C-alpha cells in the first residue's frame, strides 16, 4: 500500500518534497507558503489572502468569490478549525 502524502495543516497543499515543508523540515505540519522565515504559522488573514489570490489566478473567479472559497476551505483545516 502506498504511503499517503502529507498535506499542510493550514491550507491543505500536498507536501511531496522536503522543500514543500516549512524550512524544508518534513516534521513540520505546515507548508512553506503558510509559514514565515522562522517556520511559524502566518496570521489567518495572510493565509486567506494568499489562497484567495491562488483562486483568482488559477480559476479566474472574482476576488469576492475567491475570498469565500478560501474561507470555506480553510475552515476545515486543523490550524484554523474552530478559530474563524
- pLDDT of 57 over the 80 cut: yes
pLDDT at residue 49, as a whole number: 97
Query: String of b and e for 41-73 (b: at least 16 CB within 10 Å)?
Result: bbeeeebbbebbebbbeeeeeeeeebbebbeeb
Write out the residue range of the structural domain in which residue 16 sits.
1-84
pLDDT in tens, 25-55: 999 999 999 999 999 999 999 999 999 999 9
pLDDT at residue 68, as a whole number: 97
Q: 5, 14 in Cβ contact below 8 A? A: yes
pTM for this entry: 0.87
Q: Band of the pLDDT at 5, cuts 50, 70, 90?
A: confident
pLDDT at residue 3, as a whole number: 65
Domains contained in the chain, number:
1
* Across 1-26, average pLDDT: 91
Amino acid at each position: 500500500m502506498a504511503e499517503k502524502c502529507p498535506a499542510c495543516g493550514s491550507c491543505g497543499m500536498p507536501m511531496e518534497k522536503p522543500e514543500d515543508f516549512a524550512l524544508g523540515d518534513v516534521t513540520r505540519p505546515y507548508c512553506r507558503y503558510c509559514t514565515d522565515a522562522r517556520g511559524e504559522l502566518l496570521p489567518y488573514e495572510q493565509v486567506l489572502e494568499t489562497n484567495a489570490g491562488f483562486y483568482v489566478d488559477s480559476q479566474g473567479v472574482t476576488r469576492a468569490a475567491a475570498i469565500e472559497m478560501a474561507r470555506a476551505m480553510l475552515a476545515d483545516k486543523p490550524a484554523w478549525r474552530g478559530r474563524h
